[in-house]
Amino acid sequence: MTIPPPDFAAVADLLDLSLKEDLGSGDVTTDSVVRIEAAARGRFKAKAEGVVCGLPLLEFIFSRHCPEGSFVSIARDGQRVRAGELIATLEAPARSALKLERLMLNFLQRLSGVATLTARFVEAVGPDGAAILDTRKTTPLWRILEKYAVRCGGGQNHRMGLYDQVLIKDNHLALLAAELGNAGAGGCIGTGTIIEAVRRSREKAPGLIVQVEVRDIRETREACGAGADLILLDNMSLKALAESAGFIRQWREAGGAAAPLSEASGGVSLENARSVAQTGVDRISIGALTHSAPALDISLKLASL
């Protein structure tokens, strides 16, 4: 399946600044060693098994910074590749290829790493398991790229930012509870706080999805009664997840509505992802997809034309 890439024009400034950071006043090694008329052919190869992501971005970089050259994708984004497999080729003035080498590899390796880790989580929960989602724990200014990489790995995107979905978290509830005089000892959120938070969100942001983060079955019940669209089960034990997910499912079935859906988050790893999915949650959101994915090892070797 082909995954439509984002509008790379939205990250053009990021790409330009990244190249400027590396190039500075000029590539002193290349300009010293490689003659100006030299031309080169390059081959991108995977050095480890994984899921490729970033090839259309490299085409965009090449067209922007080396229009006299050519870049050809052999693999496609979202494709699993083996170690030693050819991913893409290029032909360009040798100096241009050398100056773009690290920029292209940085983006390709990083995004392929995110796609690869996402695919591993998707495989871990199984074909009938919960959907795997990312979070806002992304590299600053890389968000649309990293979230695209999650899609290439078979995952789904959570909200893009603070503007496109309401997510009422523990800090929001704590501040609201203090305002309402409804805060208990040890961070306890008094009954009615979630209901008021959802009411205010519907009033201020009509038409947007409203999600509420909860910590136990009592808060889960209140979030269902408040009419939340999504309920985030935060850092719960497997037993508590199963209890809350079961309650949400029964609530949904009794009302005949499509919502609410349950979402587990916090402490999810490749080792326990299947167990979390088996509690019956609909979705699992994992910050590690973007903040802790190791880069996929990819090489670019150049030869004289």
State the catalytic residues: 102, 137, 169, 213, 234
Q: Are 74 and 84 in contact (CB under 8 A)?
A: no
The reply to whether omega before 93 is within 30° of 0 (cis) is: no
Distances (CA, A) of 58 to 118, 208, 256: 21, 35, 47
Closest CA to 260 of 305, 219, 302: 219
Q: Find the angle CA(25)-CA(34)-CA(89) to the nearest 5 degrees.
A: 95
Query: In angstroms, how far is CA 63 from the centroid of its own chain?
Result: 26
Nearest to 208 by CA among 165, 172, 169: 165
What CA dihedral angle connects 273, 278, 280 and 281, to 10 degrees? 0
CA distances 94 to 10, 18, 58, 212, 301, Å, are 28, 20, 17, 54, 12
Q: Please, which residues have CB within 8 angstroms of residue 117's CB and are 6 or more apart in sequence?
A: 153, 288, 289, 292, 293, 294
